Homo-oligomer: A and B are copies of this chain.
Amino acid sequence: MSPRRVTLADVAKAAGVSPTTASLVLSGRGREMRISQEVEQRVLKAADDLQYRPNAVSVGLRTGTTRTIGFVSDTVATSRLAGDMIKGALEAARDRGVMLFIGETEGDPELERRLLQAMHDRQVDGIIFAAMFTRTIKVPKEITAGPAVLLNALPRQPSTLPSVLPDEIEAGRTAARVLLEAGHRDGIHLIGVGPRLRDVPHGGVAAVERLTGIREVLTEAGVKIAGGRRCADWQPEYGLDATRSILESGVPRALICFNDRIAFGAYQALSEHGLRVPEDVSVVSFDDHPLAAWMRPKLTTVALPHYELGRKAVDVLFAEIGHHRSGVVREPEIHRVPMPLRPRDSVTPPPA
């Protein structure tokens, strides 16, 4: 059995003062309330001797703020990325002396409801509602019981919540520029989405926005996309198949793969055909999955800034909490976090 925790009353008794005085001193309001130096020292010493730490539950009940936030995501495990997002949030939270509850909804609205309620029951100061891949979501109404932020997600219907997202359009531009700057103008194929803007899978935001950025830069440079293949799922085997299918009608000069797992499949297909990266075919991709640095040659890719997304979400959430407290009502903002290029070894000028 653990020994009883030291309470404020214990400190007060040890210092020979009332709990009120002890509380005042320990919350730094001693000066303001004209507590004498001598008493202040006695309290401080007692607190230190007894190793006093305020009971956060009690403080939470009294003040209504718990220095706790909730991180709710659809799924944490599927994507590696998740880890870094949580890590970013965790470190930002730690910097503010705040703890993180986490919960997973698995996309189940009922679970979602229960989870949000459970968090509000515990008086969280705010909630980060995260999607593990960028997409539009239905904002659950339970979330409006307090400050909240959408992470990696956009509200499907108009909402008062701010969002934090990777800047996918600019990422698309970056990928396209990498090829242009290497001198590529012909034989550029897309793997993951078709060449046209409407050839994108499911409700994901990334596909559309990356494609938009790519098309913008290439069009501006007067370069035409040679072809593209949509992938039902962005997994290696689909990348493998899509690339094989492109190889049937000739050898491309460059591939823009819509994520690294697809690129992994593309490497396999190119290797089957005796083609070398980057001498025969340049490859650029998105995400910066750990895989990208393991592949040979190492994959040039535009990174999803998961860690930064997590941090940013906490920052934005605290701004929201501030607004709530002060009763300010503002237009919900959309925050875009830059996606940095990781230049590695899979892009080279096209063969003369």
Q: Give A residues with C-beta under 8 Å from B.
A: 1-2, 53-58, 60-61, 66, 68, 75-78, 80, 82-84, 86-87, 90-91, 94, 97, 99-104, 111, 117-123, 144-146, 235-237, 261, 264-265, 268, 290-291, 294, 296, 307, 324, 327
Contacts and interface: CB of A to CB of B under 8 A. Distances in A.
**What is the copy number of this chain in the assembly?**
2
B87 A83 contact: no
Nearest to A236: B294
A102 B104 contact: no
A121 B56 contact: yes
B77 A2 contact: no
A144 B3 CA distance: 11
A90 B103 contact: yes
Nearest to A119: B99
16 contacts: A1-B327, A2-B324, A53-B117, A54-B121, A55-B61, A57-B123, A76-B83, A77-B86, A80-B80, A87-B104, A90-B102, A99-B119, A100-B103, A235-B294, A261-B294, A291-B291
B99 A118 contact: yes
Chain A to chain B: the 9 pairs with minimum beta-carbon distance, closest first = A77-B83, A56-B121, A77-B87, A236-B294, A56-B122, A57-B60, A57-B123, A57-B61, A77-B84
B101 A100 contact: yes
A57 B122 CA distance: 6
A54 B121 CA distance: 7
A268 B291 contact: no
Contacts of A68: 101, 122
Secondary structure dominating the interface of A: helix
A75 B83 CA distance: 9
Given A56-B121, A58-B61, A68-B122, A99 B103 contact: yes
Given A57-B66, A76-B86, A97-B118, 18 more contacts: A2-B146, A53-B117, A56-B118, A56-B122, A56-B123, A57-B57, A76-B87, A78-B83, A80-B83, A80-B290, A90-B103, A99-B101, A99-B118, A99-B119, A100-B103, A261-B294, A264-B294, A268-B296
Nearest to A106: B91
B1 A324 contact: yes
A53 B265 CA distance: 51
A128 to B, nearest CB: 13
Contacts of A100: 101-103
A61 B68 CA distance: 16
B86 A102 contact: yes
A53 B146 contact: no
Nearest to A115: B94
A122 B53 CA distance: 11
Contacts of A264: 294
Given A83-B77, A99-B118, A145 B2 contact: yes
A166 B236 CA distance: 29
A32 to B, nearest CB: 25
Contacts of A118: 56, 97, 99
Nearest to A147: B2
Most B CB within 10 A of own CB, among A83, A144, A235, A264: A83
A145 B2 CA distance: 6
Given A101-B99, A102-B102, A103-B99, A90 B119 contact: no
